[in-house]
Amino acid sequence: MKDKEVLSYLMDRYKKSNGKRKKMLYASILALRKRIPQKPKEQSEVLSIYNIYNCPCCEEGVGIYNIEREEWSYQNEYCPECGQHISWEGIDSE
Ligand SMILES: [Zn+2]
């Protein structure tokens, strides 16, 4: 079973539950979400020679691309702060 399928199952259960069970499902949903790669947010108001990318969950920096040198200063696969899996698909080719 894929993570996304499990997630939609948990979400469905979550909507129908309450009390302690609901809290436990919520914690599971948050943990599972971090495993599913999400695109980083691009920061706009920055020095023009850099593209800065932040975690979509907690805003921690997850990557810096140097436009002038055309290379990544760093590019994390996981957020160092919250552990969110980051998807870089299609970003370095822009
Ligand atoms: Zn994060």
Mean pLDDT of 51-55: 94
Shared domain for 85 and 47, answered yes or no, is yes
Q: What is the residue whose two structure tokens read 């590019």?
A: 75
Mean pLDDT of 14-35: 95
- 3-state DSSP call for residue 43? strand
H or E segment to which residue 26 belongs: helix 19-35
Which residues form the domain of 70?
37-94
| Packed helices 3-16 and 19-35: angle between N→C axes, nearest 10 degrees | 160
Overall domain count for the chain: 2
Using the predicted structure, report yes or no on whether residue 30 has a pLDDT greater than 70.
Answer: yes
Using the predicted structure, report yes or no on whether residue 94 has a pLDDT greater than 60.
Answer: no
Ion ligand 1: residues, Cβ under 5 Å: 55, 57-58, 60, 79, 81-82, 84
Compute the distance between CA of residue 39 and CA of residue 56 in angstroms, rounded to an integer: 7
Shared domain for 46 and 90, answered yes or no, is yes
Whether the model clears a pTM of 0.85, i.e. scores above it, the answer is no
Shared domain for 48 and 94, answered yes or no, is yes
Average pLDDT in the chain: 91
For ligand 1, the distance from its centroid to the CA atom of residue 72, given in whole angstroms, is 19
Shared domain for 31 and 46, answered yes or no, is no
Shared domain for 20 and 54, answered yes or no, is no
Shared domain for 12 and 49, answered yes or no, is no
* Cβ atoms 65, 55 nearer than 8 A: no
